[in-house]
Structure formats: C-alpha cells, structure tokens
Amino acid sequence: MKLNREIGLAGGIALVVGGVIGMGAFVLIPLICSKAGGAAWLSISVAMVLSLVSVFPLIQLASAIPVAGAGFEYGRRLISTRVGVLLSWWSIIGGAAGLALVAYGLVESFATYLPAWANLHLVALALILLFYLVYLSGVKILAVLQIVLSVQMLLAIFLYAFPVMAEYGGNATFTLPQNSNFLMAIILSFNICLGLQIIIELGEEMQSPEKNIPLSLVIGSGIILFLYLIIMVAYSGIVGADKLESRPDLVLTAGTLLPGWAILFIRMGIISAALTSFNGAAIAIPREIFGLARAGIMPAAYAKINDKGNPQYAISLFFAITCLIFLAGYGLEKAGILGELFDKDIIEFYGFVTIMGIMLLTLGISIAAWRLPKVLPESYAKSYIRFSPRWLQFFVIVSIATSLFLLILVSTKWLIPAIYIIVTATVLLAFKKHFKTAEL
C-alpha cells in the first residue's frame, strides 16, 4: 500500500497549471464575459487573487505533512476523524462534478462537428469511460502526459492570445459591475481558479514533496494568473463589449485573423486542456479513497496498488461516482429542474457542485492549518516553508472568508446545498461505526 515517488517539480507545475486552467480557458471565460461584460477583468482578478492568498494554508500543510489523501489526513490528524472523512467525500463529489463539467464542456465545444442526431450527454459519458481506461496506466506515464498536454495547451493559448491582442487588444473594455449578473460571474471566475488543491493529494508521490509541492503551487499560480489575463484581454477585445453577452465561441472569434492550421492547433488545445483537467483530477482525487481505505474506514481493496503504481480500485470507484453525478445532472435537466435554476446551462450546474465541494474542503483544510502549530508543533517547526503563526492565521482567515463567501453565493441555488446535505448525511450514517471506534 505504498505509492512511488515519481513526480518531479516540472510534473507538479504541469499538474497545477493543467488542473486549474483546463477547459476554463476556452469555455468558461466566454461565459464569464457574457455575465460580467466589461467587468469580467474584475471578477477574474478578484477570484484569482483570493485563490492565490487562500492557497497559502495549503502550502503550509503540504510543506509540513506531505501525504496522500490530504483532505482526510489533515482533517483526521488536526481536527477529528469525522471531519477528515467528510472533507474527503466533499472533495470526491466536487472533483467528480469537475470531471463531468470538463467532459460535457469538451463535447459542447465540438458539437458542430458531431452528427445532428448525436446526444451530447451520451457522447460525454462515453468520453468519461474512455478516459477511465487511459487512467489505469501508471502515475509516471500520466505525469509525463500531463507535461506534454500542458505544453501543447500553453502554445495554443499563446497562438490565440498574442495575435488577437496585437490586433484588437485596444478594444478591450474595463468597467465596474453593471448588474446583478456580476455575482454569477464571480462564482464562475472562482470555478476557473479551482484545482490548486489537487497537488496536495500527491504528497507521497512527489519527489522532495516538502519543497516541490509549495514550489509547484507558487510557480503554477503565477503562470495561471498571466494566462487568464491575456486570454481575457484578447477575447473581450476581438468580440467587443456590445457583443459579449452573445457568448461567441472563443476559437471562432479568431477565424478571420488566423490561418486554418492555427485554428486547428487551438482546437487541439481545447482537447489538451480537457485532458489535463481529467489527468490532474484522476491522479489526485482517488487518493482520498486510497487514504480512507488505508486507514481502515473503507474496504482494504481500495488501498491496493497495482503493478503500475496506481490504486486501481480507488480510481474505478471515483470514475463510477463521476458517471453517477453526470447521469444525475442529465436527469435533473430532463426533469426541468436545472432550467429553473441555471437557464438550462448544465455546465453551470456542474460548476456549482464543484465549487461547493472544493470550498468545503478548503474551509476544513484552512481550519486544520490554523491548528497545525499547536497540535503538531514538530511537523510545523520542520516545514520546508514555515509561515509565522500570525501570517499563517492571516492567510487562514482570508481563506475561510473566501470559502464562506462562495458557499453563501452557491447556496442561493437551493439544489446545490441540498445535494451536499444528502451526501453529508449519507457519509455520517455509513461510517458511524468507524467514528465511534476512533473516539474510543
């Protein structure tokens, strides 16, 4: 039940950049601009800055206690077993919804190339199952694949952003919020900033994790902020403020400016972006299931490592949960429930589910970071990166405030908190015996 340390600094940075950017660069930025208009720059900037500050408690924990299944382990060691299990399952549900979002977003981006009779939901489900077969390969292969895909994705972003900015950047508008849709833009902007938490799940698979995990987070976050800014300026400039609400396809906006081969390469970048998101989540999130099984809370089979260094059964369960969430979204859309809450945009639904799961995880981890110097003083003292108690408390307060702000906004759509209330109740009931044992 021991994982191999096969991921270096380059792989860690690629996981952070690819895991955060993913489809957001190509799918969600146009959606954010349609909601916020000329204030899109503000919604993205606020979300990115707060996300960067909020990641510092994660850096402190990862530097002090690099471990697989970080949500569970940090919660268990620094708060309680019950909290650790809840953090783990909240992250699993949020991560699975994120995969559903990526799959549907990718299929929707290529909808014009599909036959008219094709059902986008079924195609996306088939895509999830296809990726599952890929992710049964070893973690080292997946880390290398993440680097290759991230490089291609970055080149595609540069190929779009720089020529468009050079020609139309002067048309980009920067205004203050004009209507209530800006709150929706804020939520969506945080969605494209999610994923920084993924790297902490790989504490037992990173080389020199106490050093490389913090460096991956800091370097990766800087790259992400730069990329989002240039994409936003390019897109808003070429579309024009008066047409942002119509949400034209990002790639097609450059159709008259770039040659055909460049458009094709950018389209390939969308595929790479989707794969990096899938790759990061598929590598990291199943480690929560692995951690639960290793602690004896879930069946031991989920902690079994195959000859390729992967917790195969944990990965299988995670993809099964992803499929269930995807089918649930499809059913809710058919029932007309999503139409009332999200204007029939199922991507927003998956995005909201993702945000709530990750923010609940971040909230718990932030509290764990606050308790670190007192509960585990030796680990804190030996951290490769060690913030002073006052600075750590400041970062934790910002992280908690940001998480609560997002949770309140997301909860305005009653369906989202209802889902997590059901998940929480189910988890507490299912693992009731384990909690009693841990308290003895």
Radius of gyration of the chain from Cα atoms?
21
Residues 6+ apart with CB under 8 A from 260: none
Look at residue 440 in the predicted model and tell me its pLDDT: 44
- Residue 413, SS3 per DSSP: coil
Look at residue 197 in the predicted model and tell me its pLDDT: 65
Choose among 414, 394, 400: nearest CA to 360.
400
Distance between CA 286 and CA 125 in Å, rounded? 19
Tokens linked to 266:
């950018």
Residue corresponding to tokens 């991956």: 216
Report pTM.
0.79
Look at residue 244 in the predicted model and tell me its pLDDT: 79
Spatial contact of 32 and 189, defined as CB atoms under 8 Å apart: yes
- Residue 165, SS3 per DSSP: helix
Distance between CA 193 and CA 50 in Å, rounded? 9
* Start-to-end C-alpha separation, the chain: 26
Choose among 392, 426, 417: nearest CA to 54.
392
Q: Left, alpha or beta for 309 (phi > 0: left; psi -120 to 50: alpha)?
A: left
Measured CA angle at 236 (ends 277, 270), to 5 deg: 25
Tokens linked to 247:
């949400």
Look at residue 198 in the predicted model and tell me its pLDDT: 66
pLDDT in tens, the chain (440 residues): 555 556 778 777 877 777 777 766 777 788 888 888 878 878 888 887 787 777 788 888 887 887 767 789 899 999 999 999 999 999 999 989 988 888 888 888 778 778 888 888 888 888 888 878 777 665 566 667 767 887 888 899 999 999 999 998 888 878 888 777 787 788 778 777 777 766 665 656 677 776 777 788 778 888 888 888 888 889 988 988 778 778 888 888 888 888 989 998 988 888 887 777 777 677 778 888 988 998 889 999 998 887 766 788 898 999 999 999 988 888 888 888 877 777 656 888 888 898 899 889 989 999 999 999 999 999 999 887 788 899 999 999 999 998 898 899 889 889 999 999 999 999 999 888 777 665 54
**Which CATH number is correct for 9-439, 1.20.200.10, 1.10.8.50, 1.10.1740.10, 1.20.1740.10?**
1.20.1740.10
